[in-house]
Amino acid sequence: MCTVKRKKELWSVTKSVVCILIAILVYMAAMVIIGAVYSKKNSSVGDFYLGGRRLGPIVSAMSAEASDMSSYLLMGLPGLAYLSGCAEVGWTVIGLAIGTYLNWLIVAKRLRVYSQRCGNAITIPDFFSNRYRDNRHVLMGIAALVILVFFVPYTASGFSACGKLFNQLFGWDYHMAMIISAVIIIAYTCLGGFLAASFTDLIQSIVMTSALVVLVIYGVYTAGGLENVMENARGIENYLSFTSTRTADGGLVSFGGLSIVSTLAWGLGYFGMPHILLRFMAIDDKNKIKISRRIASTWVVIAMGVAVFIGIIGNALTANGTIEELATSSRSETIVLEMATVLSKHSVGAALIAGLIFAGILACTMSTSDSQLLAASSSVSENLMKGVFHVKLSEKQSMMVARAVLLVIAVLGIILAWDSNSSVFRVVSFAWAGFGATFGPVVLTALFWKRSNKYGALAGMLTGGIMVFVWKFAVSKLGGVFAIYELLPAFVCALIAIVVVSLLTKAPEQEIVDEFEAVSAEMKQK
């Protein structure tokens, strides 16, 4: 009798695994097919890296936000909420929501106009160089190196998330699973370039949304209803508090004014994210940006809010014995995997739905990784090789180099992701600070301050990048008021450096001033 029961259980598990695998394979195959279809639309490097500036408002909005919502949406945010309570993750989400809206409101339209007017720039390093008439391409070269420094580990965190997913789900070797996932991402990105990445981002945002909805409905039902979820959360000391946070060992740490301000500073990062800024540059009509802004802002607020709530639900499921306790940062980030695994055991239909959730995690990762690979690839092939070192390449050769560089960068990402115990949230946090502090102040002053010059931009870029490392690995170790998110002090220091150096050096040439005025005049036109 026991043997028969055991066989039935094994058969049930096998069916659920097969159904999940089918759902994931269908999703991955669809991404590769899209890449193959869009490969025929890449007739130039400009098409490959910026899609010929042909993105509509819906694709622009969802591609920007899907490429933003990396694995931290379904792993980092729920995991942090599960382990530490609402304070840190709550203020982070608020900061990101504000940053998203302001980026679309004040940066998107002006960058679209300015990037096309100053030499039809197709990358952020291009824009910096053309904006300030940096004929020696110093700004371009440093910006390209910054992209490499921070995007490779950022991409690695995405590969790591994929490896954890398949390891948890199928028991596959982490390294093998990570490599397979990376190959899929590389395949459709190499084939279809920016247009493929953008359209797949739209599909991936739909998959993410579906996964979030399913998780909330199932989680609340399994926990015994919404009241049980909230009652459990209220029963954990200061779990719902926005002024104290929980440590991994269950202790409490005050989360006061300085911590709140530094966490809100996550929002500053948006002004310097190359893979998001590129979406602004690629919009087909600057007057449609208002539509994109409304779509993007609404989706981000809802998606991140739901992700945090899933972490709260996870604690209720641990309390009632549905899932085991996830006591470390790395383990807590698997909360969504645990919930989906439990769901998959109910029926064939439930297993297919669970497959959708796992595909949602892949979507979070892939939608960011493809954009990051393109940005990093363009920084090497277009900015370093052609811009700085003046390597002469035909259009066909440029395309081949672009794809080869993308492949090399992906391999570097795989190497950095080899450690299976790394925290997705923490890796993303540092890379986010790096871009926000290095590029954010330069982007804002380039767009809105006529008196800024190339010397100020260079000083700001170097100051921001250096300060992120100095604050993270030296100053923050002092504790107290210094233990704040490195993005905030680095951003402020970079902004000060731009202003001081620009004012101490000669004003920009009249040609640059005239272009600035022309952009301002065009912005006033409907």
Question: Within 10 A of 106 (CB to CB), how many other CB atoms are there?
Answer: 14
1: pLDDT strictly greater than 50: no
Q: pLDDT value at position 10?
A: 46
Say how far apart CA 263 and CA 95 lie, in whole Å: 7
What the block records as the tokens of 480 is: 């107290």
Q: Using 50, 70 and 90 to split pLDDT, how confident is the model at 45?
A: low
Q: Using 50, 70 and 90 to split pLDDT, how confident is the model at 208?
A: confident
Q: Using 50, 70 and 90 to split pLDDT, how confident is the model at 217?
A: very high
| Three-state secondary-structure class, residue 253 | strand
Lowest mean pLDDT among 16-25, 37-46, 229-238, 439-448: 37-46
CB 414 within 8 A of CB 179: yes
Q: Using 50, 70 and 90 to split pLDDT, how confident is the model at 475?
A: very high
Which residue is it, tokens 């920009």? 508
Lowest mean pLDDT among 34-38, 46-50, 76-80, 314-318: 46-50
> Span 235-246, mean pLDDT?
88
Superfamily (CATH H level) for 17-421? Sodium/glucose cotransporter (1.20.1730.10)
Between 186 and 98, the more confident residue is 98
Handedness of CA 373, 379, 382, 386 (dihedral sign): negative
Q: pLDDT value at position 374?
A: 75
Say how far apart CA 302 and CA 310 lie, in whole Å: 12
Say how far apart CA 276 and CA 488 lie, in whole Å: 20
CA distances from 454 to 120, 136, 137, 495 (A): 19, 11, 10, 14
244: pLDDT strictly greater than 90: no
Say what percent of the chain tops pLDDT 90.
36
Q: What is the pLDDT of residues 380-418, one digit of tens each?
A: 777 888 788 888 877 677 777 777 877 888 888 888 788
Q: pLDDT value at position 142?
A: 93
What distance separates the 2 farthest-apart alpha carbons in the chain?
89
Q: pLDDT value at position 397?
A: 77
The letter for the amino acid at 417 is A
User: Considering the chain, what is the average pLDDT of its residues?
Assistant: 84
Say how far apart CA 367 and CA 102 lie, in whole Å: 22
Between 416 and 305, the more confident residue is 305
Delimit the domains of the chain by residue range.
Answer: 17-421
> Span 258-272, mean pLDDT?
89
> Span 180-200, mean pLDDT?
74
128: pLDDT strictly greater than 90: yes
Q: Which of 27-41, 280-294, 463-477 has the highest mean predicted lDDT (pLDDT)?
A: 463-477
Q: Using 50, 70 and 90 to split pLDDT, how confident is the model at 11?
A: very low
Q: What is the pLDDT of residues 338-361, one digit of tens each?
A: 898 888 887 788 888 888 787 777
> Span 183-200, mean pLDDT?
72
